[in-house]
């Protein structure tokens, strides 16, 4: 069996769960990983102690370093006898160059992708030609990404599989009984424009739910200070700093429901986390995960319509404890189809290892 190389911008907790699952199937010695960069300005993930791991550039993930990254990528393929290359998309010039380099060296190329938005434009036609020429198979996040890859990029359906976007469900699994009586609506997201938190807070305050529940927002980002100032008088709206990975389960366990109001969201792994913890969910139509993960376990709404979200909150307010518990069980059932173990099996199936 030949060796596998997985490349992401930076390997974080989500990716490590996938790597462990793949190594559990094919063995530790056959799976290699690489970061594009030594650091990043957003997540600040630690990767020092990962076995068989390489860093392709000393620069940060936000900085370009095409020549160095490509040179080191080629070196890894040669020295580690890499036969299968799994690359995190095609949106950066580094990945485009790596796709070509891997193919020219006889590797089978798997592309990870969350993209699902866009029409059959000249640019997408060009991407379609390139990917059909140089990429072999695609592991995509969900239904929307699958349809985009097949219908817009014109990749044959048999070359596409789901799911790419998974988390370590066991890490977030609630060890005790779900308690809807905490009456806390949780939003875990970066404080930035596309996450739509001001819209979310305004809709919550106008809903009947705000009379008995609180809204808890956890994250970091450029808009946090502005939102804190604007809503500091509202005692049932609480803003908290971003939490480290090991503290996230406790935050989910102390909540009753999860909401993500984004106006743009390729997938939304926080929805996976919340559902793994047994939370019902509310997702905007712009959340990529919505068609896959919201089905009898919550509500959806139009991210441009405040009234639409107010209505969803009012529906939650009318639910009984039994109904909330049923939604909780439904969340846990749905998310069983999105695990690192299933991710690993799909990688193996696509690559025909």
Q: Rounded to 5 degrees, what are φ and ψ at 122?
A: -55, -35
Say which residue, 11 or 292, is predicted with more confidence: 292
Q: What is the pLDDT of residue 294?
A: 98
pLDDT in tens, 316-347: 999 999 999 999 999 999 999 999 999 999 99
Q: What is the pLDDT of residue 14?
A: 86
User: Token digits for 217?
Assistant: 């927002």
Q: What is the pLDDT of residue 88?
A: 96
134-138, 226-230, 283-287, 303-307: the lowest-pLDDT one = 226-230
Q: What is the pLDDT of residue 175?
A: 67
Identify the architecture of domain 169-335 in CATH: 3-Layer(aba) Sandwich (3.40)
CB atoms inside a 10 Å sphere around CB 174: 16
Q: Which percentage of the chain shows pLDDT scores above 90? A: 85
Q: Which percentage of the chain shows pLDDT scores above 70? A: 96
pLDDT in tens, 231-249: 988 889 999 998 889 999 9
Q: What is the pLDDT of residue 153?
A: 97
Q: What is the pLDDT of residue 233?
A: 85
Q: What is the pLDDT of residue 45?
A: 67
pLDDT in tens, 87-122: 999 999 999 999 999 999 999 999 999 999 888 999
Residue with tokens 């790597």: 19
- C-alpha distances out from residue 63 to 11, 46, 66, Å: 16, 18, 9
Provide the 8-state DSSP code for 128: H
Which neighbouring-strand residues pair with 6? Answer: 33, 86
Cα pseudo-dihedral 322, 324, 328, 330, rounded to 10: 80
User: Token digits for 206?
Assistant: 């106008």
pTM of the model: 0.94
44 φψ region: left (φ > 0), alpha (ψ -120 to 50), beta (else): left
For residue 39, what pLDDT band results from cuts at 50, 70 and 90? confident
Residue 26 has pLDDT above 90, yes or no: yes
Q: In what order do the strands lie in the sheet with 108-113?
A: 53-55, 31-35, 3-8, 82-87, 108-113, 137-140, 160-161
CB atoms inside a 10 Å sphere around CB 123: 10
Q: Rounded to 5 degrees, what are φ and ψ at 114?
A: -115, 0
Mean pLDDT for the stretch of residues 181-195: 94
**Segments of the chain assigned to CATH 3.40.50.2000:** 3-166+339-351, 169-335
Q: Rounded to 5 degrees, what are φ and ψ at 196?
A: 65, 35
Q: In what order do the strands lie in the sheet with 184-188?
A: 237-241, 214-219, 184-188, 257-260, 281-284, 298-301
Tell me the three state secondary structure of residue 194: helix
Q: What is the pLDDT of residue 178?
A: 63
Residue 47 has pLDDT above 70, yes or no: no
Residue 44 has pLDDT above 70, yes or no: no
Mean pLDDT for the stretch of residues 162-187: 88
Q: What is the pLDDT of residue 1?
A: 63
Identify the architecture of domain 3-166+339-351 in CATH: 3-Layer(aba) Sandwich (3.40)
269 φψ region: left (φ > 0), alpha (ψ -120 to 50), beta (else): alpha
Angle formed at CA 350 by CA 347 and CA 353, multiple of 5 degrees: 75
Q: What is the pLDDT of residue 209?
A: 97
Angle formed at CA 130 by CA 126 and CA 136, multiple of 5 degrees: 145
List, as one string, the DSSP characters of 12-26.
-HHHHHHHHHHHHHH
Say which residue, 39 or 181, is predicted with more confidence: 39
């Amino acid at each position: 069996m030949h060796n596998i190389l997985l490349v992401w911008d930076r390997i974080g907790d989500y990716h490590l769960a996938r790597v462990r699952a793949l190594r559990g199937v094919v063995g530790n010695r056959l799976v290699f990983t690489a970061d594009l960069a030594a650091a990043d300005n957003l997540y600040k993930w630690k990767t020092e102690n990962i076995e068989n791991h390489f860093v392709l550039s000393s620069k940060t993930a936000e900085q370009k370093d095409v020549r160095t990254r490509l040179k080191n990528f080629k070196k890894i393929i040669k020295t580690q006898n890499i036969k299968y290359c799994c690359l995190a998309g095609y949106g950066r010039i580094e990945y485009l160059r790596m796709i070509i380099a891997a193919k020219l060296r006889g590797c089978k190329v798997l592309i990870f992708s969350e993209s699902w938005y866009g029409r059959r434009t000249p640019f997408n036609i060009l991407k379609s030609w390139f990917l059909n020429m140089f990429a072999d198979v695609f592991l995509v996040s969900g239904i929307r990404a699958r349809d985009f890859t097949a219908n817009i990029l014109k990749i044959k359906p048999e070359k596409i599989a789901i799911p790419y976007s998974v988390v370590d469900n066991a890490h977030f699994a609630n060890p005790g009984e779900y308690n809807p009586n905490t009456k806390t609506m949780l939003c875990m997201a970066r404080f930035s424009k596309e996450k739509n938190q001001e819209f979310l807070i305004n809709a919550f305050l106008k809903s009947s739910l705000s009379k008995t529940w609180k809204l808890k927002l956890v994250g970091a980002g450029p808009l946090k200070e502005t939102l804190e100032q604007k809503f500091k008088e509202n005692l049932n709206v609480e803003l908290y700093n971003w939490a480290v990975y090991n503290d996230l389960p406790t935050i989910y366990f102390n909540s009753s429901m999860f909401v993500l109001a984004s106006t743009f969201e390729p997938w939304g792994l926080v929805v996976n986390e919340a559902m793994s913890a047994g939370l019902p969910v509310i997702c905007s139509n712009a959340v990529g995960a919505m068609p896959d993960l919201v089905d009898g376990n919550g509500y959806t709404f139009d991210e441009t319509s405040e009234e639409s979200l107010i209505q969803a909150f009012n529906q939650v307010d009318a639910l009984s404890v039994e109904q909330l518990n049923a939604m909780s069980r439904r969340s846990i059932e749905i998310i069983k189809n999105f695990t690192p173990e299933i991710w690993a099996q799909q990688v193996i199936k696509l690559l025909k290892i």
